[in-house]
């Protein structure tokens, strides 16, 4: 069994910063892709940023230049540094990871979500 646990969500004023963390634990051989998604009230869940095992990141356009995704493979942890936050960034942020469980099995896992609220 694999668990992803997020932390770092909070209430912050516009223009502020937050750093989200997501740590994976359990029967893990390796983790390929790790990413962050978000879901705002009344909207569908959307991809925010993703990073592959080699470290190459990809971002959606609205967060480019403001958010930075990174990972520590030794700790099975992915981070999302969010700067210049806007009210539109308000959402529940979910961690997602493609975990190799054995030589022949890979599976996607989700965290439970962490709330980010940007408001004055």
pLDDT at 89: 97
Q: What are the φ/ψ torsions at residue 42 (nearest 5 degrees)?
A: 80, 5
Averaged pLDDT, 20-25: 97
Reference 57, options 27, 99, 65; nearest CA is: 65
Token code pair at residue 52: 């592959």
pLDDT at 74: 93
Mean pLDDT value across the chain: 96
pLDDT in tens, 26-74: 999 999 999 999 999 999 999 999 999 887 899 999 999 999 999 999 9
């Amino acid at each position: 069994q694999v668990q992803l646990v997020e932390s770092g969500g909070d209430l912050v004023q516009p223009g502020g910063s937050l750093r989200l963390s997501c740590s994976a634990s359990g029967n893990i051989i390796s983790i390929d892709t790790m990413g962050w998604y978000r879901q705002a009230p009344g909207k569908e869940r959307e991809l925010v940023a993703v990073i592959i095992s080699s470290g190459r990141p990809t971002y959606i356009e609205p967060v480019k230049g403001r958010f930075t995704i990174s990972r520590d493979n030794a700790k099975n942890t992915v981070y999302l540094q969010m700067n210049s936050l806007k009210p539109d960034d308000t959402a529940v942020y979910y961690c997602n990871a493609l975990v190799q469980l054995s030589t022949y099995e890979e599976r996607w896992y989700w965290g439970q979500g962490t709330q980010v609220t940007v408001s004055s």
